[in-house]
């Protein structure tokens, strides 16, 4: 299934007083990387809907293991693997690397959803669209 990867600098803003990554940034990177993967495929999972609602990809569960911590200004490679495409849910594995060193491994489940318009922020899970399903099943790797 689809994989995607890119590199990012570990910034001053993302390090703690020990000079290493502040770990909550990994969860933010998971959101950003996933959105970049979808955008690279021509899909905006957070697009505005015609009725004023907005698409979303809320997380329902998450598990992370931490092996090594990168230091300030390191280049971190973020690797995303589509693991499973369910009816309304999607499972991903994320790995973060510094060179050949595995920093973090994470697995998460998200649901394809819409946020209703008109100030009602309640989300509703809906079926993963066929077009999305097709693109995530494809065997190609992102840029």
Best CA proximity match to 129, nearest among 100, 70, 88, 95: 88
Count of residues engaged in binding a second copy, rule: CB under 8 A: 49
If 0-12 CB within 10 Å is exposed, 13-18 middle and 19+ buried, where does residue 70 land? buried
Best CA proximity match to 26, nearest among 60, 77, 99: 77
Report in angstroms how near the CB of residue 28 gets to a second copy at its nearest.
5
Instruction: Return the number of the residue (1 or 31) whose C-beta is nearest a second copy.
Output: 31
Among 83, 87, 101, 117, contact with a second copy (rule: CB under 8 A): 117
Query: In 3-state terms, what secondary structure has residue 118?
Result: coil
Report in angstroms how near the CB of residue 139 gets to a second copy at its nearest.
26
If 0-12 CB within 10 Å is exposed, 13-18 middle and 19+ buried, where does residue 90 land? buried
Interaction between residue 24 and a second copy (CB under 8 A) = yes
Among 1, 31, 102, 127, contact with a second copy (rule: CB under 8 A): 31
Among 72, 91, 125, 132, contact with a second copy (rule: CB under 8 A): 72
The CA distance from 70 to 25, in Å, is 12
Binding site for a second copy (CB under 8 A): 9, 11-13, 15-20, 22-25, 27-28, 31-32, 35-36, 39, 44, 46, 48-49, 51-54, 56, 58-66, 69, 71-73, 115, 117-119, 121, 123
């Amino acid at each position: 299934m689809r994989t995607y990867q890119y590199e990012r600098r570990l910034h001053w803003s993302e390090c703690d007083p020990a000079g290493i990554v502040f770990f909550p940034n990994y969860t933010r990177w998971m959101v950003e990387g996933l959105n970049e993967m979808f955008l690279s495929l021509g899909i905006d999972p957070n697009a505005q809907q015609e009725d004023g609602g907005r698409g979303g990809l809320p997380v329902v569960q998450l598990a992370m293991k931490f092996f090594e911590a990168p230091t300030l200004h390191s280049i971190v490679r973020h690797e995303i693997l589509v693991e499973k495409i369910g009816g309304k849910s999607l499972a991903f594995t994320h790995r973060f690397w510094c060179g050949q060193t595995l920093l973090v491994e994470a697995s998460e489940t998200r649901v394809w959803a819409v946020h209703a318009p008109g100030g009602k922020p309640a989300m509703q899970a809906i079926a993963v669209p066929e077009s999305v399903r097709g693109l995530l099943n494809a065997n190609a790797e992102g840029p």
